[in-house]
Chain A
Amino acid sequence: MQMLGFLVLAITVIVVILFMRTFLASSYGRGLSRISERHQTEGFRAGSISILQTTDDNTDRTVLELLGIAAYQTNKDLDFGDAGQVDVLEELEWRMNEIYGEGNWYVKIPYPDIIPRYQMIIIVDSSGTLCDDFQNIRDNLPIIIEELRDPPYNYNIAATIFMLPGGSKCCGTGSEDVSLNCGGLFETEEYLHCINLDTEVVEDLDREMCEDNINPENGPGNIEQNEDWGRGLACAIDIGPYEGWYDFTAKIGIVLSDELPGGSENQGHSINQESLGIGIRAASGFLNVFPFKAYTGNGCCPSCGCDENCVENQCPECLFCVRAYNDDHYLFNENACNQDNTLDIYMNELAVATGGEVYELIDSERVVETIERILNEHIFDINPYLEIGTNPPTNKNINSEVVPVPVPFVGGYTNIYMYIWA
């Protein structure tokens, strides 16, 4: 019993010793660590402020200002005219190297949120058979764009719709003739715009392929070809989205049509291939094109039995309503129907050449849903930031600092994320 008592006593004493030592050690260890951290934090903060407040010799602007401008322009090389050019990241680099040493730091400056990360151009065939599809875009795309921009998606997306010229009139507009073009159909939203590829817009372009028309037979002053989506794509790329092209963004092109580029009635002529070729050349290596194949009426091929004199309830699944001479007419689009397979091939060729994918629209209600699918199903390589330095290692204590940087012209802010390690 006495031995057991002694053993218990000895263990208790050892536990007390260990506890006291641990307690004391952790106490002063924590204190030392806190002061050391404070010193490092204050030093780093002082360092980051001092570096960002220093001025460039040529422009007399602070590094902070330069980074704000570079973030807005999404470009590290800034041109100040007579004052000269500045490589902003180089200016930051030598300063950081002097203070923290090469290989011991990393800086990242995301572009301000006002600059979209996803830029989408949508080229819409403006023939009357697309009225129902466009109706879906008009009704739902603004809502979907907003939804995609909000959590949980957080796709910072901006879309610009390009209407091919010669917009047909749509049914259901009553006495008011409303054509398939931007005016009257589309209200401009902050991140959604619509541009008519009409004569005025196209003639302003330098690019020959666009200037020379969208319909070579009619000449530049008389553009009427509402299905020439190959050239239309080239023109839209040339014009650019409303906010202009940014280098770093995910660029998405959508072509919405139910006919061959230049019209299915021209199958067998070179016009279709020419249009497609122009579109592919313009888009390859620049943006991913996702052709949307609208319903061609292929369920009723080769004929609906009524051709151009149909009535509404006659094979309704194959008829399209178009408005002409102040009246609604129901048509069976025989050309589109017969060229359904060829349209598949054309669209697939464009998609493969540009890294996109063809989406077949089962009905007109699916247009916006399919746009959402593109974003969710495809991974786009985007780098929406300027960065310099060495990527932070995983096995070191990293000291970080976030410095707000005002972005001129937009009146907003972005952050500079600075990391250092010993």
Chain B
Amino acid sequence: MAREQWGSKIGVIMAVAGSAIGLGNFLRFPGQVAQHGGGAFMIPYFIALLLLGLPLMWIEWTIGRFGGGFGHSTAPGMFHSLWEKNRFIKYFGVIGIFGPIVIALYYIYIESWLLAYSFFALTGSYETCATSEMMLSFLRGYQGLEQNQYFSSLWPAYSFFLLTFALNGVILYFGVQRGIEQVCKYGVPLLLILAMILLARVFLLGTPDPAQPENSVLGGLGFIWNPDWSALTRAKVWLAAAGQVFFTLSCGIGVILTYASYLGRNDDVALSGLTAASANEFAEVVLGGSLVIPAAFAFFGASTMTVIAQSGVFNLGFVTMPLVLQKIAHGNFFGFIWFLLLFIAGVTSSISLAQPAIAFLEDEFNLNRRQSVLGLMTAIFLFSQPAIFFLGRGVVDEMDFWGGSFFLVLFATVETILFGWVFGMDRAWSELHTGSDITIPRFYRWIIKYVTPLFLLLILGSWLFQDWLPVLFCQGVPEENLPYIIGTRLMLFTLFAGLALMVRWSWQRRAVNSGGGYDD
């Protein structure tokens, strides 16, 4: 079966950028900056971007294109191609399929909230919610966490989930070039335009209440950007900056590997990786940093803003922003734009999460596109039900820990060591520059080989001891939620083991077909 290919260079760049631009750019980033020293946060942020983010981008683009040359679109085959003598490395590559599936299990559901809220904004469904408490109650009612005057069942949320799920399935069914590429080629510029429209509106807010001149958009920008130099002496701030850079670029998930595998042998990866990263940074620093917090600050002021910034990304997006936009003229329209842009950002990310598993089924089991999409979407649909029905039991947080945090950093650390040390820096550098449209400064050889892996090991170690061990041992989990957490872990373990078995079968089949050339 012929492998799929991208139709254009800008198409693959938009697809990778679309995968990276998500809720984190518009909601997580401004909260992180405001909490960790304002403008001073940007010093560790930019250092992490140069030493961690860009090298990881180039590593993943290069490994992806290299693996694609051997007919592999996913990490098990790619890692095997990088380290042929090691029999077990392909099983480690399973993370590159497992991680994105786990994220997709809850991400598509959250994405469906955005579609629902776009609809609610247009129809004025939450117009009666005049306070944060009422808006939060609206959200909790929608999520099925409580029955209230706004919602009496989970069915509205489930209907929007089915709609969003079907949309993802249809896009994926059309394939890499006619589905993913077309959606991202138009979707990413559209979401950037929508964000710029909203940005212009937010900047025009000025000082909404002349009686409180300190509550202004400029004050909000100051809340984000005024530097607190003492933050630079705190290790936590440096780790937070590295974490933000790492998560925002969608590295360590396996998606970039798969997308890059559809490139030709002499297609550029150096400039493409940089362009995708810069598009993501534009969406994050310029647009994301100027929307939610300045708007909320202008209406609520500094003290309330601090509470809001620390209350979590969902509250910023689903509670604060609709409240703010309701207060301005044509608020329904701007509310619609806000949720639509987040929904588009969500769709371009969720389709990327499904692609590695689809590619795995196509490459290693010779299934056609239709069979692969049907098989994967059925599995995602079944496994995502706990995230919908047991949201209040910590199931989504548990999935996010494994798929969206723990395995991501582990995977990135191993692939970086594989690239710079096992594959070898000379070959790696030459591979990175094959067909390249730019020349990367030579000191990046040194950074990729020494600095990036050390940086990742440092992050892995600190997070493991500071944040992850309590989660691993379920510390602080209410007793009534424990069965749900254990159930989720069992489900994820079954999924991982199933994928590992599939890798084993696939390699055995290849070994038979190639007369023993593929060792197991």
| Same complex | no
Using CB atoms and an 8 Å cutoff, list the residues of chain A in contact with chain B.
none
